[in-house]
């Protein structure tokens, strides 16, 4: 069935706001609900792809491959790249993003609000218990912390990711990154992929109206 003009206009609007130089990297996240929450935030902010690194044998990789109900509407619009080798993941990320910044408490850590998140950047988050691995830390271009003033100096991984992405969003709105409605070659390819997903939904008889 042909796509309606309203639906096509919605796709074009969403694609025009996608931030092609902003991504999230998740290393060994255990809780599928955290993964789902991150996916939904990424879609809301305009992140078009996420990297999942799974090197912990205790993690069910299906949590990354399938996604959960909480992110079902957003999951199909986000390209989730999954790696079981850290080096391979980092190599690919560095071909597309200028800087990799991770949440890690150290003497060199900067405040989230002192970072330039309007430039090409990958934000890396470690698992719920141990944070980023020692191997992952070696590949970071910088560390950052989210300022906190309570008794408990920690945030859930999905909350930390949301706070960080919305700071990136704030900076990008200020520089006009969400205002350009033109479709680059890369964004046109993304639009084509969305149209293919839409068509597939009709073929299967279950169009997602989200």
d(CA 141, CA 144): 10
| pLDDT grade for 66, boundaries at 50, 70 and 90 | low
In the chain, what are the domains?
1-18+179-205 (no CATH), 20-177 (3.40.1280.10)
Write down the residue that tokens 């944070």 correspond to.
131
Strand partners, 103: 144
Token couple for 38: 């991150």
Q: Which among 154, 170, 161 has a CA at the least distance from the CA of 122?
A: 161
Q: What are the b/e assignments for 173-210, b being 16+ CB within 10 Å?
A: eeeebbeeeeeeeebeebbeebeeebeeeeeeeeeeee
Q: What is the DSSP letter of 106?
A: S
Q: Residue 69's Cα: distance from chain center in Å?
A: 18
pLDDT score of 208? 47
Structure confidence at residue 106 (pLDDT): 77
How would residue 121 be classed by pLDDT, with cut points 50, 70 and 90? very high
Q: What is the pLDDT of residue 139?
A: 97
Does the model's pTM come out above 0.85?
A: yes
Q: Is 190 within 8 Å of 77 (Cβ atoms)?
A: no
**47 vs 154, which has greater pLDDT?**
47
């Amino acid at each position: 069935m042909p796509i309606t003009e309203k639906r096509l206009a919605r796709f074009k609007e969403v694609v025009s706001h996608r931030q092609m130089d902003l991504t999230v990297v998740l290393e060994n996240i255990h809780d599928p609900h955290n993964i789902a929450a991150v996916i939904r935030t990424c879609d809301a902010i305009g992140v078009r792809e996420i990297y999942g690194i799974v090197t912990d044998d205790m993690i069910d990789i299906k949590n990354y491959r399938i996604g959960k109900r909480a992110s079902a509407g957003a999951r199909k619009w986000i390209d989730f790249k999954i790696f079981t080798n850290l080096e391979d993941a980092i190599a690919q990320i560095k071909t597309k993003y200028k800087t990799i910044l991770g949440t890690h408490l150290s003497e060199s850590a900067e405040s989230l609000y002192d970072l330039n998140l309007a430039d090409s950047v990958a934000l890396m988050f470690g698992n719920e218990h141990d944070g980023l691995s020692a191997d992952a830390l070696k590949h970071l271009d910088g560390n950052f912390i989210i300022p906190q003033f309570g008794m408990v100096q920690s945030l859930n991984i999905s909350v930390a990711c949301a706070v960080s992405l919305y700071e990136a969003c704030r900076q990008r709105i200020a520089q006009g990154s969400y205002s350009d409605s033109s479709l680059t070659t890369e964004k046109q390819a993304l639009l084509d992929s969305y149209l293919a997903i839409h068509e597939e939904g009709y073929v299967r008889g279950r169009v997602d109206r989200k």
